[in-house]
Amino acid sequence: MNNAAEKKLALSHLWVAFAAFIVACFMGEYQVLERSGLFPSLESPTVYFASVSTHGVLMAFVLTTFFIMGFGYYIASTSLKQPVWNKPLAWGGFWLALIGVVLAALPLLSGKASVLYTFYPPIVAHAAFYIGATLLVVGSWVWCLIMLVMFTQWKKANPGQNVPLAMFATAANALLWLWASAGVALEVLFQLIPFSLGWIDTIDPGLAKTLFAWTLHPIVYFWLIPTYTAFYVFVPKQAGGFLFSDEMARLAFVVLVVFALPIGFHHLYMDPEQAKGWKLLHGIGTFVVALPTLVTGFTVIASLEIAGRLRGGKGLFGWIGTLPWTNPMVLAVILALLMLIFGGFGGIVNASYAMNAMIHNTAWVPGHFHLIFAGTTVIMYLAIAYYLWPILVGKPLFSNSMALVQLWTWFIGMSVLTTPWHVLGLLGQPRRISTVVYNNLLTLSWKPYELMMILGGLILLGSACLFIYNLVKTQLTPLVGEFTAEIEYAEPIHAVGVLPEYLNDLKLWNKVIAVLMAISFGYPILQFFFMKTFGSSVWGY
């Protein structure tokens, strides 16, 4: 298939994503060093919080959004075997998002937007930060539109046929993101931008936090879905086997998308502006969304077992040894699942009312999301990059063994970084502090863990540099001889018959989401307009 234009589109998005990633990795290591207090000359809250804000925005919003867009375009064109619909529009979305990133980067890097990536008002950043972030989101909406149009067009052209699983997951993610981003879009457009420009004098921080919580949970599933997509559509094939169940994969994506949305209040458990009944409702939904992850774990491990046994593995655990551990994708999935088990355990603590009180806003929280996002999610982004780069640039991967070393060190670094981070949280260290100045004996117990975090960050930084080096070398090394590689999707072990419409379309689920969102966010948002509230005026930082 001649899809050079699609390859260029995907590659451009992925390079922006990984450029943001490597810059943010350097900032991460600076932050652990600064925070440790070992280097007094480094200490500066101004630089520290500018750095933390930029690190968060680059990793959580730029790396993810650009990766998801590039990955989605390529998945759509290869799984549906048709060109990306309206490529000029796709490029328009790319440039809009990129201009947004640059616009937001200016105040971030100059210390005019040290409001962290959660930007909770009434602390206010320079308006360019919010406008830039908005352009990034609007660019991603262009991507959502293209994905959904391609999904619908393909269905129309192929009646009675099943949409390929990879595309079903990608379109589901586009639907998820349109719903998810609406919350923060409302907050930014009606509260933060007018507030930062001085058009309105006061805003309600309670309403702002509620709207942000709307986005805050499903956004992590927006980031996670490409990882799960790779689990289902790449890993079984790379391991030399078959996908255990295509139907369960679709069901998992549906439950993930539907239940990721109406549960954001677990971020507001400790907040005074929402009542306990709503928190309990969202808390129960939070546990429901663990179900598709448990199912995914089962399907992926079962698919790996099929592969291991096909490769001659015997006995209860013998198949693990026969897996191709030297395939970056297979190695990455094993490491990702290991981190997911521990991260998931931590997540259950966070989701539980009583236990949450002990760890809320402590160092445990960044420890948790680094393990599950920078660990499980991002290690699969890296593995996907190793898989796609040779296909996209038409040259073999520069070094497979370097890729393996890189993935192992990413896993080891993440373990060394996040284990002490969790412990610090249990020992009461608050998150988001630039140095420890509390005159209290308790802080003595924090020291060794902070030192360990420096080491973890250093391993991760080295690992990230290896990753970028490998990609650059792959692209720049001149091609000797011929090389062709095409993307290969895993086949299910049981052929799939004609799927019922609810597993082959998203219209029904869109309606279900609308109902669930109205139930779980309707009153909690409307209450701010019914009760007597007092707005806050603008504060600097």
**Which of 56, 313 has the CB closer to another protein?**
56
Are 224 and 136 spatial neighbours (Cβ–Cβ below 8 Å)? no
In the block, tokens 């290991």 appear at: 338
Coil vs helix vs strand at 213: helix
Q: Which of these segments, 152-160, 244-252, 326-334, 375-383, binds another protein (CB under 8 A)?
A: 244-252
Which of positions 496-515 make contact with another protein (CB under 8 A)? 496-497, 499-500, 502-503
432 in catalytic set:
yes
Of 13, 217, 266, 282, the active-site residue reads: 217
**Which of 83, 122 has the CB closer to another protein?**
122
Residue-wise DSSP of 345-401: HHHHHHHSHHHHHHHTTBTHHHHHHIIIIIIIIHHHHHHHHHHHHHHHHTS--S-HH
Options 41, 160, 437, 484; binder of another protein; rule CB under 8 A: 437
369 in catalytic set:
yes
What distance in Å separates the CA atoms of residue 527 and residue 254, rounded to the nearest whole number? Answer: 30
Q: How far is the CB of 90 from another protein (least distance, A)?
A: 34
**Which of 5, 349 has the CB closer to another protein?**
349
Are 516 and 102 spatial neighbours (Cβ–Cβ below 8 Å)? no
What distance in Å separates the CA atoms of residue 513 and residue 527, rounded to the nearest whole number? Answer: 21
What distance in Å separates the CA atoms of residue 167 and residue 156, rounded to the nearest whole number? Answer: 15
Of 431, 449, 467, 521, the active-site residue reads: 431
Options 102, 109, 341, 357; binder of another protein; rule CB under 8 A: 357
**How many residues touch another protein (CB under 8 A)?**
82
Of 71, 228, 232, 369, the active-site residue reads: 369
- Residue at 175: amino acid letter: L
Residue-wise DSSP of 491-518: PBSSPP-PPPGGGT-SHHHHHHHHHHHH
Options 102, 109, 341, 433; binder of another protein; rule CB under 8 A: 433
SS (H, E, C) 27-50: HHHHHHHHHHCCCHHHCCHHHHHH
**Which of 290, 517 has the CB closer to another protein?**
290
Options 245, 327, 418, 463; binder of another protein; rule CB under 8 A: 245
Write b or e for each residue in 373-398: b if 16 or more Cβ atoms lie within 10 A of its Cβ, otherwise e: bbbbbbbbbbbbbbbbbbbbbebbbb
Options 196, 227, 229, 362; binder of another protein; rule CB under 8 A: 362
Which of positions 264-283 make contact with another protein (CB under 8 A)? 268-276, 279-280, 283
What distance in Å separates the CA atoms of residue 36 and residue 40, rounded to the nearest whole number? Answer: 9
Q: Which of these segments, 130-138, 183-191, 192-200, 289-297, binds another protein (CB under 8 A)?
A: 289-297
309 in catalytic set:
no
**Which of 401, 440 has the CB closer to another protein?**
440
Q: Which of these segments, 143-151, 323-331, 358-366, 384-392, binds another protein (CB under 8 A)?
A: 358-366
221 in catalytic set:
yes
- The yes or no reply on residue 344 touching another protein (CB under 8 A) is no
Q: Could you list the active site residues? A: 217, 221, 368-370, 431-432
